[in-house]
Amino acid sequence: MSANDICIYGDLVLRQKAFPVVKFDEELKQVADQMFDTMFEADGIGLAAPQINISKAFLVIGMPREDQEPERLFFANPEILETRGEIGMEEGCLSIPGVRDEVMRPEWIRLRYQDIKGQTQELEADGLLVRVLQHEIDHLNGILFTDRLSPAKRGLLKSALEKLAKSKGDKRFSDYAEKFDL
C-alpha cells in the first residue's frame, strides 16, 4: 500500500457508511500499520480505512510532537458522546488533493471507541486532535469536509471537485454527481 492507493474524491467507497469493526486480530494490526506508513508517506496526520478502500469503521492519526516521531493513535468504532463549543480551522484531505478550506466544528468532544485490542475506551479531546478526529470520523460516515462548507464555498469548489472525480474515470460518475449534488 502506498500513497498512490489512497482513494480520491469520486470513489464511491468514500460515500459509504463503514461497517463496524468486529474482529480485533493480527490482520487489523497489519492494516493499521500499513495505514500509518501510507499516511506518513503522504504527509497526512489522519487516515480513515475507507480512504484505502476498506469500508470498516477505523482510523489512524499521527499526532505531531516536537522533536519526536508523531504519536500513533488508533480508533475503531468511534462514537462522539458529547460536544462543546464551535471553532473554525482550515482543513485539507488526502482524498481531495489541492483543496483546503476553513470548516466550523465543535472545539471539544467526549468520545467512546475501541482500541487496537478491542477494549472500549473513553477520551476527552480538544485542539488539533479533536479536529482530526472529527474529520476522520466523518469519513466513516461517508462525509467529506467539503460537505460541511457553506453552499457558496461549495459552489466555488464545484469545478475542482468535478475534475478530481472525473480524473478517476469512474463511469458511475454521473449517477454519483446526481446523488450527492456535486
Active site residues: 136
Residues that contact Ni ion, how many (by CB under 5 A): 1
Q: How far is the CB of 93 from Ni ion (least distance, A)?
A: 3
Q: How far is the CB of 120 from Ni ion (least distance, A)?
A: 25
In the complex with Ni ion, the residue whose CB is nearer, 18 or 93, is 93
In the complex with Ni ion, the residue whose CB is nearer, 24 or 36, is 36
Q: Is 14 in the site for Ni ion (CB under 5 A)?
A: no
What's the rounded Cα separation, in Å, for the pair 91 and 96? 10
In the complex with Ni ion, the residue whose CB is nearer, 52 or 93, is 93
Q: Three-state SS string across 127-172, please?
A: HHHHHHHHHHHHHHCCCCHHHHCCHHHHHHHHHHHHHHHHHCCCCC
Q: Which stretch binds Ni ion (CB under 5 A): 65-73, 88-96, 116-124, 125-133?
A: 88-96
Query: From the CA atom positions of the chain, what is the Rg in Å?
Result: 16
Closest CA to 51 of 85, 10, 90: 10
In the complex with Ni ion, the residue whose CB is nearer, 93 or 161, is 93
Q: How far is the CB of 47 from Ni ion (least distance, A)?
A: 8
Q: How far is the CB of 139 from Ni ion (least distance, A)?
A: 6
Answer positive or negative: Cα dihedral of 175, 178, 181, 182: positive
Q: How far is the CB of 104 from Ni ion (least distance, A)?
A: 16
What's the rounded Cα separation, in Å, for the pair 161 and 130? 26
Element of type H or E holding 3: none
Closest residue to Ni ion in the complex (CB): 93
Ordered strands of the 68-84 beta sheet: 46-48, 58-65, 68-84, 108-114, 120-126
Q: Which stretch binds Ni ion (CB under 5 A): 89-97, 98-106, 111-119, 153-161?
A: 89-97
Q: Is 49 in the site for Ni ion (CB under 5 A)?
A: no
Q: Is 93 in the site for Ni ion (CB under 5 A)?
A: yes
In the complex with Ni ion, the residue whose CB is nearer, 107 or 138, is 138
Residues that bind Ni ion (CB under 5 A): 93
